[in-house]
């Protein structure tokens, strides 16, 4: 006899989240599902975005510049997409101000756009509170774990309690992110392995 269930088992829920950025010509609008933003320094190095691994970072050692990026999880009430949103430190100030005046980022209905309408032009974020009496937001993912999946950080490079359950194993024996070539840059598709100079 089948054992029917109206709740999806935790193990079978999706573990991957798409990473969204502000489009060059258009807007990105969603409601934040996490309480606070989280960020880290990244490099665009070897044809892809990777987190900075200071103090022992191959990209830093090669004088690659770093940029700090903020990440929040957010939900689009029209499409029901639950994704991660990435922006620069400058753009994220709007989130920080909202967070300090409302005590949380949860329920922040934001609209991100680039007034100059160019790729990589400065992002401006407008925030207002969503009417949470009419919405039930999904629970926020663990952003660090979700980013580890997006960056395809080899499991060996994660400390044990941050290990990503269900994350695909990277086909590399190395424990260095820099050498994990199967790591798409901001979701722009797969890239070639970095060139090895001998």
The nearest distance, CB 178 to Zn ion, in angstroms, is 9
Q: Whose Cβ is closer to Zn ion: residue 60's or residue 172's? A: 60
The nearest distance, CB 55 to Zn ion, in angstroms, is 9
Taking the C-alpha atoms of residue 34 and residue 105, their distance in angstroms, rounded to an integer, is: 6
Distance of CA 3 to the CA centre of its chain: 36
Q: Name the helix (H) or strand (E) containing 100.
A: helix 89-102
User: Is the preceding omega at residue 93 within 30 degrees of 0, hence cis?
Assistant: no
Q: Provide the binding-site residues for Zn ion, judged by CB under 5 A.
A: 52, 57, 59-60
Q: Whose Cβ is closer to Zn ion: residue 57's or residue 106's? A: 57
The nearest distance, CB 45 to Zn ion, in angstroms, is 8
70 within 8 A of 92, measured Cβ to Cβ? yes
The nearest distance, CB 148 to Zn ion, in angstroms, is 17
Q: Whose Cβ is closer to Zn ion: residue 31's or residue 50's? A: 50
The nearest distance, CB 52 to Zn ion, in angstroms, is 3
Q: Which two tokens stand for residue 2?
A: 């089948």
DSSP letter (8 states) at residue 170: P
Q: Whose Cβ is closer to Zn ion: residue 27's or residue 61's? A: 61
Q: Which residues contact 117 (CB under 8 A, 6 or more apart)?
A: 24, 25
Q: Whose Cβ is closer to Zn ion: residue 34's or residue 180's? A: 180
142 within 8 A of 117, measured Cβ to Cβ? no
Q: Whose Cβ is closer to Zn ion: residue 143's or residue 178's? A: 178
Pairing of strands 66-75, 48-51: unpaired
The nearest distance, CB 58 to Zn ion, in angstroms, is 8
The beta-strand segments (E) located in 55-107 are 66-75, 82-88
DSSP letter (8 states) at residue 103: S
């Amino acid at each position: 006899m089948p054992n029917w269930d109206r709740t999806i088992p935790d193990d079978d829920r999706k573990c991957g989240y798409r990473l969204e950025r502000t489009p060059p010509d258009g807007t990105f609008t969603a409601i934040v599902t996490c309480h606070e933003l989280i960020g880290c320094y990244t490099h665009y190095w070897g044809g892809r975005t990777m987190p900075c691994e200071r103090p022992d970072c191959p990209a830093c050692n090669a004088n690659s510049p770093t940029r700090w990026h903020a990440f929040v999880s957010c939900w689009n009430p029209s499409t029901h997409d639950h994704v991660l949103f990435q922006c620069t430190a400058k753009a994220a100030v709007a989130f920080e101000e909202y967070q300090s005046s409302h005590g949380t980022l949860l329920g922040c209905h934001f609209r991100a756009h680039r007034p100059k309408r160019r790729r990589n032009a400065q992002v401006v974020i407008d925030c207002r509170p969503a009417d949470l009496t009419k919405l039930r937001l999904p629970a926020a993912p663990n952003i660090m774990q979700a980013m580890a999946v997006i960056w395809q950080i080899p499991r060996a490079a994660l400390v044990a309690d941050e290990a990503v359950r269900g994350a695909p194993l990277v086909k590399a024996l190395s424990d260095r992110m820099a050498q994990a070539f199967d790591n798409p840059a901001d979701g722009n598709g797969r890239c070639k392995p970095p060139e090895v100079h001998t």
